[in-house]
Chains A and B, each alone.
Chain A
């Protein structure tokens, strides 16, 4: 199994530009999570999906952030317009089922730098 795949691995963009981060979860996993990691705030859950349906998006910081999961094998996190404070490492993770409690499998992350 290739694990969770994220692209791009690095993204440098200018303030105001649109940024799209992509994730392919592990095949057969029902849950997909998007996290943001910064030195100041640690690891924050942004949103998670169950069977392609968004369940909890309370961690999405602003309306500039949006996430979609059009099918079981693909999800995107979009920031429009981007701002320097969005600079962070964004992780996608997936998990098989809710019960019994499974761990999450993380992708390698996308390092976003907004200048």
Chain B
């Protein structure tokens, strides 16, 4: 069965500092991995995805994520955090070897960037 774990309910970082939001996954076969962001009273918004190839994926708003197959991780990173990055972040996984389209979302990590 597919699963996603986001071990931190909240991450606090000062503006200008690097940030990391952690994600680990479990899936049969090769994974497709996604990060989404949710601002208050809004739907989820796609940030980036890993399908295959380069383990470092770059996405919107300066975010990037590193796929690590041996550690089954897909941590979200940004070199310099902005106050406007404060939001709820979701990691998601979909198995590549199934006929379905079911994507499993993590519980979410709230990022708080302090000015």
A contact patch SS:
strand
A103 touches B46 (CB 8 A): yes
Of B18-26, B62-70, B77-85, B96-104, the stretch lying at the interface with chain A is: B96-104
Q: Interface code B85-115, partner A: CB below 8 Å = 1, 0 otherwise?
A: 0000010001010001111111110000000
- Chain A residues lying within 8 Å of B44, measured Cβ to Cβ, are 43, 91, 93, 104, 106
Residue of A nearest to B94 (CB): A101
- Within the assembled complex, what's the spacing in Å between the Cα atoms of A104 and B36? 9
B105 touches A42 (CB 8 A): yes
Q: Interface code B17-49, partner A: CB below 8 Å = 1, 0 otherwise?
A: 000000000000000101010000111111001
B51 within 8 A of A: yes
B100 touches A103 (CB 8 A): no
A25 within 8 A of B: no
Q: Interface code A85-114, partner B: CB below 8 Å = 1, 0 otherwise?
A: 000000101010010110111111100000
Q: Using A101-B51, A106-B43 as known contacts, say yes or no to A43 and B34 having CB atoms under 8 A apart.
A: no
Of A12-20, A48-56, A69-77, the stretch lying at the interface with chain B is: A48-56
Residue of B nearest to A95 (CB): B101
Which of B42, B96, B101 is in CB contact (< 8 Å) with A50? Answer: B101
Which of A42, A48, A56, A106 is in CB contact (< 8 Å) with B108? Answer: A42
Q: Using A42-B107, A101-B51, A103-B49 as known contacts, say yes or no to A56 and B102 having CB atoms under 8 A apart.
A: yes
A109 touches B102 (CB 8 A): no
B46 touches A105 (CB 8 A): yes
- Chain A residues lying within 8 Å of B104, measured Cβ to Cβ, are 45
- Within the assembled complex, what's the spacing in Å between the Cα atoms of A55 and B44? 22
Chain A: residues with CB nearer than 8 A to chain B?
4, 31, 42-43, 45, 48, 50, 55-56, 91, 93, 95, 98, 100-101, 103-109
Chain B: residues with CB nearer than 8 A to chain A?
32, 34, 36, 41-46, 49, 51, 90, 94, 96, 100-108
Listed from nearest, the 6 A-B pairs whose CB atoms lie closest are A106-B43, A103-B46, A101-B32, A43-B105, A106-B44, A42-B107
11 contacts between A and B (CB under 8 A): A42-B106, A42-B107, A43-B108, A48-B102, A56-B102, A93-B44, A101-B51, A104-B44, A108-B41, A108-B42, A108-B43
